[in-house]
Chains A and B, each alone.
Chain A
Amino acid sequence: MSRRVVVAMSGGVDSSVAAALLLEQGYDVVGLMLRLWAEPGGQANRCCTLDAMNDARRVAGQLNIPFYVRDYKEPFKQKVVAPFIAAYARGLTPNPCILCNRDIRFDRLLQEALSLGADYLATGHYARVQPGPDGSYHLLRGLDPHKDQSYVLYTLTQQRLSQILLPVGHHPKETIRRMAAERQLSVFNRPDSQDLCFLGQGDYRAFLQRHAPQVAQPGPIINRAGEQLGRHKGLAFYTIGQRKGLGLSAPQAMYVLRLDTATNSLVVGPAEQLGRQELTAHRVTYISGHSPAEPIQVRAKIRYRARPAGATLTPLPQARAHLAFAAPLRDITPGQSVVFYRGERVLGGGIIEKAANS
């Protein structure tokens, strides 16, 4: 009897090819698509528009696998959208994709897959799961450096890694597109998804204005000396390192240094004040399940699209960690995740609490 795998399908090329590859490898494949929350009145969540759903259904039909749509609107709203808004209200810049993967895809959906008698849950992520010689699992970067999505998967545990298949992570994106075309999967030329899936119109700032007007409290823009330079529209609309849109007429370019929620002030300064060389992170987890016993050298990514930077990681009690970078970074942003790498391997990660200077 073949092993059963539930593939989380999105109607996109990656998850479609994932399903096709697993089927070719002899798995008993079941396609499942999630309907996620989106702003009422606007378009559907970009992960699951009617078009995307029809695409996924058509691919499942081509592959002749069962296909189901599951409604996850409420849990998505509760576990992803609400914390997203709450984080902005606290002056943080959250990454909802990490929460979605931790609490929706690789939790609720994984449980549902297992309840369907599946041995595995597969997704179209560009990352790789590799069993080590000692029976433990490693999470590796996707083979395609431009598409690597391991950053958003750092919360995976050994238990979950043993139940996950990421077939497309072993190929470059171009190969995946070619495989889709070779198999005549109708989605081979669909564009890659962009931006936060649940935003109706405009960017996250417009979203917050619509759904959390309380985060749009105007306040002063000050420099480090406390001198007022202007007014801001609400701290949530600014992010560390931002230069544009401040509305300042200073002689030199000013950058956002810090969001001070205590005084509702936006602290700005010239570029040379921007760098931070240290950070502390909380909710730190490690792929191995174990915190290192002493400080180690890592490459760390402070944003999804950041370049990995050399750092010394010092584990702290209560699932915290301290990172000292070899050189200052301009945009260490509280609320974003910092993910630790060694070579191709993801070691773990956590959520940035604060940046500091040594």
Chain B
Amino acid sequence: MKEKSEIYLDYAASTPTDPQVVEAMLPYFNQSYGNASGLHKQARASARAIDQARQQVADILGCSPAELVFTACGTESDNIAIRGAAWAQKLAGKGHHLVTSPIEHHAVSHTINQLCRHFGFEQTVVPVDAHGLVDPAQVAEAIRPDTVLISIMYANNEVGTIQPVAEIGAVARARGVLFHTDAVQAAAYEPLDVKALNVDLLAVSGHKIYAPKGVGLLYVRQHTPLLPPLTGGSHENNRRPGTENVPYIVGLARAMQLVQSQREAEKERLSSMRKQLVEGVLANVPDSHLTGHPTQRLANNASFVFADCEADALLMHLDMAGIQAASGSSCTTGMPEPSHVLTAMGMPHKLALGALRLSLGRHTTSADIDTTLALLPAIVGNLRTLGI
């Protein structure tokens, strides 16, 4: 291999596990390994660890520990929230109409699509503007007497636009409709106070916030009707059966404490580097555009489109140069289709094929940004010359 520096700018896809998180988890692999449902000493140790973790998370979200469900990932959290709330209300005769946005993660949109295609639900997709913002007034207009759930993400995974979640939540609450938000991308950088956000259901993923892959969280507001999609034991307050994944639950709680306590400082550090990155790219790459909202966006997200520059080719060349990035959602890499997010924002098809998402994180340095700015314009230029 040729020598090269390694620059990781794909924190929105996944993050390294914080060593403090690893340390918190370690005792629960082979020192305390009991099944938390048991009654002996080992079991009690596991149950205690989960209780403690649940309390730590409850303190961050400003909720009761009983309102929290630990899951295996953000996708599972979204599934339990949407299916669970939609089914329960349909069974209760409340209706079968869902309201969502066109820029949701597939964990949300594919779940809603399946409910509509096979289970008798209907959906209204509220549009977004050119910056990817949902207008709460349009959400209000979309609500029907038979609307049972609104699902609109907290911050977009591709372009980083932060939605007016609290306002949408206020609309929902005033109309007596449940509100779910996918907070997977927002959890490291935005407040998670569920009362201030006016949410009934909120999903978080561990590996986007320096916990490992394989653990997620769902907040379910008290008295929210929920028919659990998974059936089994009585774990997690009868909402998510399956033996609790003790070390990962402990890790998730520790990670949430760490990111939320460092949130403001990290936001400031990252947004200043992000500013340098965005300004540098726009100044040095001709025909480049920032995507998403200019200010109302995640501190770590810099997303662009480049005219006449195919995303996959760009990512390959960046990787060969030691810069690890993504074009949009990492769940859709390899598909030469323009992203549904950019399309919903009204981006022309051809331009949307040249998307690049650079997402910063804890180990990003301004030297990384300098190197990226030194390499990126030439790579885009070469690709345009080649016509690839």
Q: Which residues of A contact B (CB under 8 A)?
A: 1-2, 4, 28, 30, 35, 66, 68-71, 73, 108, 111-112, 115-117
Does A30 lie within 8 Å of B320, measured CB to CB? yes
Flag if A4 contacts B336 (CB, 8 Å).
no
Contact status A68-B388, CB under 8 Å: no
User: Are A112 and B313 CB-contacts (below 8 A) given A30-B320, A66-B319, A117-B320?
Assistant: yes
Cβ contact within 8 Å between B388 and A69: no
The answer on a CB contact under 8 Å between B336 and A68 is: no
Roughly how many angstroms separate A70 CA and B334 CA in the complex, as a whole number? 8
- Inside 8 A of B117's CB, which chain A residues have their CB? none
Q: Please state if B317 and A73 are interface contacts (CB–CB under 8 Å).
A: no
- Let me know if B310 is at the binding interface, CB within 8 A: yes
The residues in B between 347 and 388 inclusive whose CB is less than 8 angstroms from any CB of A are 382-383, 386, 388
B386–A112 CB distance below 8 A: yes
The complex places the Cα of A117 from the Cα of B3 at a distance, in Å, of: 13
Contacting pair A4 B310 (CB below 8 A): no
Q: Confirm or deny: B316 has a beta carbon within 8 angstroms of a beta carbon on chain A.
A: yes
Residues of B within 8 A of A4 (CB): 2
What is the minimal beta-carbon distance from B134 to any residue of chain A, in angstroms?
31
Q: How near does chain A come to B328, taking the closest CB pair, in angstroms? A: 15
CB distance from B338 to the nearest CB of A (A): 12
Please tell me if B312 contacts chain A, counting CB pairs below 8 Å: yes
CB distance from A65 to the nearest CB of B (A): 9
Which of B2, B313, B334, B336 lies in contact with A28, CB distance below 8 A? B2
Subset of 23 A-B contacts with CB under 8 Å: A1-B2, A2-B2, A4-B2, A28-B2, A30-B320, A35-B336, A66-B319, A66-B320, A68-B312, A68-B316, A68-B319, A69-B334, A70-B312, A70-B316, A71-B310, A71-B312, A71-B336, A112-B386, A115-B386, A116-B316, A116-B320, A117-B2, A117-B320
- B334 proximity list for chain A (CB < 8 A): 69
A116 touches B388 (CB 8 A): no
The 5 closest A-B pairs by CB, nearest first: A71-B336, A68-B316, A69-B334, A115-B386, A116-B320
Main secondary structure of the interface of A (DSSP, over half): mixed
A114 (CB) vs chain B CBs: closest residue: B386
Is B265 located at the chain interface by the 8 A CB criterion? no
Residues of chain A with a CB closer than 8 A to B174's CB = none
A111 and B388 contacting across the interface, CB-CB below 8 Å: yes
Residues of chain B lying within 8 A (CB to CB) of residue A1? 2
Chain B contacts with A in 283-325, Cβ cutoff 8 A: 310, 312-313, 315-317, 319-320
Contact residues in A for B2 (Cβ distance below 8 Å): 1-2, 4, 28, 117
Complex Cα distance, B1 from A70, in Å, reads 22
Give the residue of B310, B336, B382 whose beta carbon is less than 8 angstroms from that of A115.
B382
Q: Inside 8 A of B383's CB, which chain A residues have their CB?
A: 115
Q: For the complex, what is the distance from the CA of A83 to the CA of B317, rounded to whole Å?
A: 31
Say whether A115 contacts B1, CB under 8 Å. Answer: no
Q: Looking across the interface, which residue of chain B has its beta carbon closest to that of A30? A: B320
A66 / chain B contacts, CB cutoff of 8 Å: 319-320
State A296–B320 Cα separation when bound (angstroms).
48
Bound-state CA distance A69–B313 (Å) is: 9
Q: Which residue of chain A has the shortest Cβ distance to B385 in the bound complex?
A: A115
Residue of A nearest to B336 (CB): A71
Q: How far, in angstroms, from A112 to B386 measured CA to CA in the complex?
A: 8
Query: Is A73 a contact partner of B386 (Cβ separation < 8 A)?
Result: no
Inter-chain contacts of B319 with A (CB < 8 A): 66, 68
Q: In the assembled complex, how far is the CB of residue B383 from the closest CB belonging to chain A, in whole angstroms? A: 8
Shortest beta-carbon distance, B319 to chain A, in Å? Answer: 7
Q: Give the distance in Å from the alpha carbon of A4 to the alpha carbon of B2 in the complex.
A: 9
Q: Are B320 and A73 in contact (CB under 8 A)?
A: no
Which A-chain residue is minimally distant from B386 (CB atoms)? A115
Nearest-Cβ distance from residue A48 to partner chain B, whole angstroms: 11
| Chain B residues closer than 8 Å to A28, beta-carbon distance | 1-2
Instruction: Indicate if the CB atoms of A73 and B336 lie closer than 8 Å.
Output: yes
- Give the chain B neighbours of A70 by CB distance below 8 A: 312-313, 316
Most buried by B among A4, A28, A111, A116: A116
Complex Cα spacing A71 to B320, Å: 18
Looking across the interface, which residue of chain A has its beta carbon closest to that of B311?
A71
- With A4-B2, A111-B388, A115-B388: A69-B320 Cβ-Cβ less than 8 Å: no
- For the complex formed, measure the closest distance between the CB of A163 and the CB atoms of chain B, giving whole angstroms: 15
Smallest CB separation, B382 vs chain A (Å): 6
Q: How far is the CB of A47 from chain B (nearest CB, A)?
A: 15
- Residues on the A chain within 8 Å of B313, using CB: 70, 112
With both beta carbons as reference points, the residue of chain B lying nearest to A57 in the complex is identified as: B334
Q: How far is A66 from B310 in the complex, measured between Cα atoms in Å?
A: 19
**What separation, in Å, do the CA atoms of A2 and B315 have in the docked complex?**
23
- When distances are taken between beta carbons in the complex, the residues of chain B under 8 Å from A111 are 386, 388
On chain A, the residues within 8 Å of B388 by CB distance are 108, 111-112, 115
Q: How far is the CA of A345 from the CA of B306 in the complex (A)?
A: 46
* Alpha-carbon distance between A35 and B312 when the two chains are bound, in angstroms: 12
CB-based contact B312/A116 at 8 Å: no
Residue of A whose beta carbon sits closest to that of B316: A68
* Complex Cα spacing A58 to B331, Å: 18
Question: Would you give the 0/1 interface string for B1-37, flagging 1 where the beta carbon is closer than 8 Å to chain A?
Answer: 1100000000000000000000000000000000000
Complex CA distance for A127 and B27, rounded to whole angstroms? 59
CB-nearest residue of chain B relative to A66? B319
CB-CB nearest in chain B for A112: B388
**Which residue on chain B has the smallest CB distance to residue A32?**
B316
Residue in B310, B315, B317 whose CB lies within 8 Å of A116: B317
- Of A28, A69, A108, most buried by chain B (CB within 10 Å of CB) is A69
Residues on the B chain within 8 Å of A69, using CB: 312, 334
Collect the chain B residues with CB atoms within 8 Å of residue A68's CB.
312, 315-316, 319
Kindly provide the distance from the CB of B93 to the nearest chain A CB, expressed in whole angstroms.
41
Provide the bound-state CA to CA distance between A1 and B1, in Å: 8
CA A2 to CA B1, docked complex, whole Å: 7
A122 to B382, CA, bound (A): 22
Assembled-state Cα–Cα distance A181/B382 (Å): 40
A35 to B313, CA, bound (A): 13
